[in-house]
Structure 1
Amino acid sequence: MRFLPALTALSLTTAGLVVTSAPAHAAPAAPTATGYGGAIATVDPTATAVGLKVLRDGGNAVDAAIAAAATLGVTEPFSAGIGGGGFFVHYDARTRRVQTIDGRETAPATAGEKYFIDPTDGLPYEFNEARVSGLSTGVPGTLATWESALKRWGTRSLASSLRPAAEVADKGFPVDATFRQQIADIQGAFGQFTSTRALYLPGGAPPAVGTIQRNPDLAATYRLIASKGTGVFYRGAVADDIVRTVQHPPIAADPTGTWAYPIRPGTLTRADLAGYRLRYPVPTRSGYRGLTVYGMSTPSSGGTAVGEALNIIEAGRPDLHHYLEASALAFADRNRYVGAYSKKSVLKKLISDDWAKQRACLIDPAKALVKPVPPGDLNGAGCTTATTGAPVEEGQSTTNLTVADRWGNVVEYTFTIEATGGNTMVVPGRGFLLNNELTDFNFTPTQGEAADPNLPGPGKRPRSSMSPTIVLKDGKPFLALGSPGGATIITTVLQVLVNRIDLGMTLPEAMAAPRASQRNSAGIQAEPAFRARYGPSLSPLGHTFAADVAELGAATAIEFTRGGGFIASAEPVRRGGGAAAVNSPIDDSTRGRP
């Protein structure tokens, strides 16, 4: 868990985090907080503190979300930042509408289906060869997302939203074990680049736990954007520096560590940056046990896959066996049919109750399906299946935040630079890492003679698994949640929903429970505690387990209680633990909307 820097109006106490300008009854930040007047949960207490102060100063959920997100760009730089993109889901309490912003990165105009094929031998690049290169970087959409969200639903300017994060970057924060380990895990790649090495490998090694990590270049970049606007990023001096970094990677003359691959330049241009446009797709929508579940549509596969799996579970039984089988079936369909530009008719069918019944009829309550399972046949009926599509994996990084304000507005926001450390290149003089999102494309066709929905192309957005989700009950918020974790995002969100709605767990229990992810593979990926607790009952059904993983996801969530209250929840342990906070532990609803 991160610790707070010295910030204006923020301080540490032995009891935890407090905002010194807040009422005396303010509760400290912790993995779970219960109260009124607004709530926020992120993976990092500094970001939570910044967002909470915005809520207490009269800002709404969007204002707080953008300020917290900008701060995560400082304290969680290997997971997210202005060099990446993401998906923003917003519930407007006045209109009772859920709307979304697609801030996914786009491929350069030069990208074609053979973008990741080595022209010298006709073979696809190895993943890390493609990742640690200029080729992997798409046009970032995060900054455009922040600006658009504030203009549409916020009450504050982008400049004011960037100010607290710039102060954190200037003053710094103590390095914790998670931050140091993330650098150590990718030290070989970081050591290849002068700019990355200077920022994150002082003296040639990861910074020691407890030392202060500062980023004055990022602080200056934030302040430049605050002064000049986002045009400086997409069409001005920062754009020039991004293009230069992609086309001429800042390779060190004396790189530290070993790296097995040549570092290839990319083809991203200034015209690609200037031409970036956000999208505002209609969210996915599905019913589940009297609730309405809203998620992110394409280019994310998250909303469709979560919705389909929930429908399959609803058509069967609410237990872990059906959770795992529904996940496998949903991933089979996702890999075969879902890409950035899938037809609306296809997406609508995948999330329909009729399709769920067609898929659920394959599930035997007493015996696990043999994996991988084939996708369903869109033109068939009953239990008919089609040709198997290949599984696709994505990076395990990303971050997520959840915010609600005193007026009932909600933000669920998942954003990323893809793999931990992105393409591992810090833009010289600017202080932020670039994304490797284009490696989310399939490098080669995976569907045989059928069209692959996720091949590279000019200006295309790669498929994502990010699954920011808002659940309504009778038209009002009941639960909002999301998580990082690459393709495991879908199963993390799904499992938390099943835990909370079907298995009788409280939200904190649902978040803390051990996790497993079945993504249509021969073995279930599971945390050790899940295998130990549930393996004895699942194995006799034919479920098999792959090697254990230390943790899956790092979710944040808010539940909405009767009387306008909130239960804000973050991870108690995973990824170092998160931080949740509420405006007040008591009901103080006398203040009006600004």
Structure 2
Amino acid sequence: MNNINGTSTNETDRPSPSIPGPYRSPEQTEAFPLKHSLYRGNGGAGNKVHGLRSLTECCSGSVNKSGTSLRIIVLCFVALTLAVIVALTIQIYYGDYQLVPHGSVATDNPRCSVVGTEILKNGGSAVDAAVASTLCLGVVNPHVTGLGGGGFMIVYSHRNQKVLDVIDFREVAPAYINTSIHTPGSYVGVPGVLRGLAMAHELHGKLPWMDIVMPAVHIARSGFQVPESLFAAKAHLDLNVLFNRRLINWAAPLEAGQHLTLPELAATLELIAAKGPDVFYNGSIARNVLLAVANAGGKMTEQDLAGYQAVRRSALTATFADFSVLVPDLPSGGPALLATLELLSALNSSRGGHGMSPLNIISLANASENVYRRALLGIWGDPNFQDEEYDNDRGKVSLGKLTQSVGSHVAAVDLNDIYVSVVSGLNAWFGSQLLTNDGFILNNALTNFGVGKNSPFPGKRPMSFSTPVIATEKRRICGRRLVLGSADVALAAQLLSHLLVLDMNVTWSVEAPRFHIAHGNNSIFIEDYHVPALSKNAQESLEKYGYHLESLSKPYQSCNIVEKIGDDLTSHSDSRGGGISSRF
């Protein structure tokens, strides 16, 4: 049983009244990321925001050598002197950072963001940083992601203008999947997180595997403060199910800000650090997974676990608002996101401004609803099974749960302009609500099966709405580049509309009001407890259009971003997830 050692006050400080998010000072926000330089132009709707210039220039400018008079020399010397004085004054007054920055990592937890940048400082790649941060999130946000889940990763080299890799580590249906049984254990897919992260590290990592895993071990063993998201997610626990008593007994006493240690998970991660990912899929850890599934009414075998492999997929690309948008292929939510953006192409005629107009919000809602209905009809599924014939009635029992979509996102950028976006998760808050003896929670990904091409089948991966995203400006190689992602394509579409159509800066794009689509009853869920909330004018317009609005309780899904414009780097972690991005 995981231990709870003492309590302490919540680490979140009072937010700035003019800047959204749980930040300790303006320097930690996207509006003032660091003091090294200023960037102008795209990405801020006219706002001037402090940026972060990378050590290696993306675009070097030429120097104007005209003029040789003494007056010009003197004026230049005076201007340079004043500029140095002003820069030093600003740096002394504001900055913690004294060196030219190298990269950035944005996650749902401040410590996990720092884990990523520490990896970069030690010579690791953006993939190393993303893997380490994802493992860290499995410790501090065990209700969202972890060893018992799955996900997707995209790796992009901006210098080479190409996608280096797309890694699919989505959960897989076991050989004995039975759609007539509806128990927590029957919804558990074979976990893929560790295989996927290990594959990414093997292909694109620089540091030893142990160096990547051990930061998560240290945090699990020494402890961390319970995030507000974990505390709020307890409302989603089913207290009447006997199968999950271990999880209930562990989670029920938790309070936000409480100091928590996870000794069982620390021991599991330490074993993985020493012996590699194979130890998870064979031996005692695997047997404990099988035991948890069997005790909850499911059937998974040693062969199911031992045979799991992550898969390298192709990337898809589309143009939206003069940007190239790169996403993974099926079974990720990438195709669904591109379909949504295609329906939103009419928004391009109304660029700029401070926020979404009611008409644009209605367009977003309609496009998202349209795409989700297409998904429910089974037009997308595991590409390895597209040629098979399936009974359309086979997966109807799961249709209502296809809309579940919970995960955590990591964005990482390194000195070599390698961009990495990872979305991983348990599929729902606390997944299947099954806590193993080794300290991690199992997914409920098999609830995402449906009909048609997404019908359940042994060895098949259910279609997901999660997708990592890379967006690059088409007209300028060194223009705006964005690393983002979401566990819900509707949220990703809203974020891209804020960024690319309205030309909002990163902070305001992420913190802007968002809504969630409910399927089958023409309902939209509003984040009433997020600041800022959706305007009354927008809500009234949605109601007039025929949508039924409902209030959505916390926790809310988060979306994190790292952005580069020219050689300036900035980032923002969504306050909904409680994170703060890290740069150095």
TM-score (norm 2): 0.74
Aligned to 1:166: 217
Q: Are 2:309 and 1:299 equivalent residues in the alignment?
A: no
Counterpart of 2:311 in structure 1: which amino acid?
A: R
Residue 337 of structure 1, CA deviation? 4.3
Counterpart of 2:558 in structure 1: which amino acid?
A: A
Aligned to 1:208: 255
1:73/1:462 CA distance change after superposition, 3 Å: same
Counterpart of 1:506 in structure 2: which amino acid?
A: N
1:314/1:194 CA distance change after superposition, 3 Å: closer
Further displaced range: 325-334 or 395-404: 325-334
Aligned to 1:117: 180
Residue 320 of structure 1, CA deviation? 2.6
Please say if residues 339 and 462 of structure 1, whose CA atoms lie closer than 8 Å, have aligned partners that are also in contact. Answer: no
Please say if residues 292 and 473 of structure 1, whose CA atoms lie closer than 8 Å, have aligned partners that are also in contact. Answer: yes
Residue 179 of structure 1, CA deviation? 2.3
Please say if residues 399 and 448 of structure 2, whose CA atoms lie closer than 8 Å, have aligned partners that are also in contact. Answer: no
Please say if residues 30 and 506 of structure 2, whose CA atoms lie closer than 8 Å, have aligned partners that are also in contact. Answer: no
Aligned to 1:84: 149
1:96/1:236 CA distance change after superposition, 3 Å: farther
Q: Are 2:538 and 1:534 equivalent residues in the alignment?
A: yes
Structure 2 Cα separation of the partners of residues 327 and 14 of structure 1: 35
Residue 144 of structure 1, CA deviation? 0.6
Q: Are 2:451 and 1:400 equivalent residues in the alignment?
A: no
Correspondence list, 1:17-166, <5 A: 29-30=28-29, 33=33, 34-35=51-52, 36-98=101-163, 99-111=165-177, 115-118=178-181, 125=182, 130=183, 133-166=184-217
Aligned to 2:280: 233
- Residues 319-349 of structure 1 show CA distances to partners (whole Å, capped at 9, x for unaligned) of 3332222222222333324333359999xxx
1:188/1:582 CA distance change after superposition, 3 Å: same
Residue 184 of structure 1, CA deviation? 5.0
Counterpart of 2:214 in structure 1: which amino acid?
A: R
Please say if residues 89 and 101 of structure 1, whose CA atoms lie closer than 8 Å, have aligned partners that are also in contact. Answer: yes
Q: Are 2:373 and 1:332 equivalent residues in the alignment?
A: yes
Aligned to 2:421: 412
1:527/1:210 CA distance change after superposition, 3 Å: closer
Correspondence list, 1:345-494, <5 A: 393-428=402-437, 430-442=438-450, 445=451, 452-474=452-474, 478-484=481-487, 489-494=488-493
Residue 13 of structure 1, CA deviation? 12
Residue 221 of structure 1, CA deviation? 0.8
Please say if residues 235 and 274 of structure 1, whose CA atoms lie closer than 8 Å, have aligned partners that are also in contact. Answer: yes
Correspondence list, 1:248-267, <5 A: 249=295, 264-267=296-299
- Residues 360-403 of structure 1 show CA distances to partners (whole Å, capped at 9, x for unaligned) of xxxxxxxxxxxxxxxxxxxxxxxxxxxxx977533343111111
Further displaced range: 515-524 or 502-511: 515-524
Structure 1 Cα separation of the partners of residues 223 and 237 of structure 2: 22
Please say if residues 190 and 425 of structure 1, whose CA atoms lie closer than 8 Å, have aligned partners that are also in contact. Answer: no
1:555 aligned to 549, 553, 559, which one? 559
Residue 406 of structure 1, CA deviation? 1.7
Residue 556 of structure 1, CA deviation? 0.4
Please say if residues 558 and 566 of structure 1, whose CA atoms lie closer than 8 Å, have aligned partners that are also in contact. Answer: yes
Aligned to 1:321: 362
Residue 423 of structure 1, CA deviation? 1.6
Structure 2 Cα separation of the partners of residues 146 and 400 of structure 1: 14
Structure whose alpha-carbon radius of gyration is higher: 2
Aligned to 2:355: none
Structure 1 Cα separation of the partners of residues 499 and 29 of structure 2: 20
Please say if residues 327 and 520 of structure 1, whose CA atoms lie closer than 8 Å, have aligned partners that are also in contact. Answer: no
Structure 2 Cα separation of the partners of residues 344 and 108 of structure 1: 15
Aligned to 2:62: none
Counterpart of 1:293 in structure 2: which amino acid?
A: V
Residue 14 of structure 1, CA deviation? 8.9
1:215/1:288 CA distance change after superposition, 3 Å: same
Structure 1 unaligned runs (5+)? 6-11, 17-25, 119-124, 250-263, 347-388, 446-451, 584-594
Aligned to 1:578: 579
Counterpart of 1:495 in structure 2: which amino acid?
A: Q
1:177/1:293 CA distance change after superposition, 3 Å: closer
Please say if residues 37 and 565 of structure 1, whose CA atoms lie closer than 8 Å, have aligned partners that are also in contact. Answer: no
Please say if residues 15 and 28 of structure 1, whose CA atoms lie closer than 8 Å, have aligned partners that are also in contact. Answer: no
Q: Are 2:517 and 1:512 equivalent residues in the alignment?
A: no
The percent of aligned pairs where both chains have the same amino acid is 27
The number of equivalent residue pairs is 470
Structure 1 Cα separation of the partners of residues 241 and 119 of structure 2: 35
1:287 aligned to 319, 327, 333, which one? 319
Residue 453 of structure 1, CA deviation? 1.9
Residue 183 of structure 1, CA deviation? 3.2
Please say if residues 403 and 519 of structure 2, whose CA atoms lie closer than 8 Å, have aligned partners that are also in contact. Answer: no
1:342/1:185 CA distance change after superposition, 3 Å: closer
Aligned to 2:267: 220
Please say if residues 140 and 226 of structure 2, whose CA atoms lie closer than 8 Å, have aligned partners that are also in contact. Answer: no
1:13/1:345 CA distance change after superposition, 3 Å: closer
Residue 289 of structure 1, CA deviation? 2.6
Structure 1 Cα separation of the partners of residues 501 and 373 of structure 2: 24
Aligned to 2:81: none
Residue 537 of structure 1, CA deviation? 4.0
Across the aligned residues of Structure 1 and Structure 2, the Cα RMSD in angstroms comes to 2.9
Aligned to 1:371: none
Aligned to 1:246: 293
Residue 30 of structure 1, CA deviation? 5.0
- Residues 185-225 of structure 1 show CA distances to partners (whole Å, capped at 9, x for unaligned) of 41616875464356x24xxx422344321111111111111
Aligned to 2:45: none
**SS of the counterpart of 1:560?**
strand
Structure 2 Cα separation of the partners of residues 311 and 153 of structure 1: 32
2:307 aligned to 246, 260, 275, which one? 275
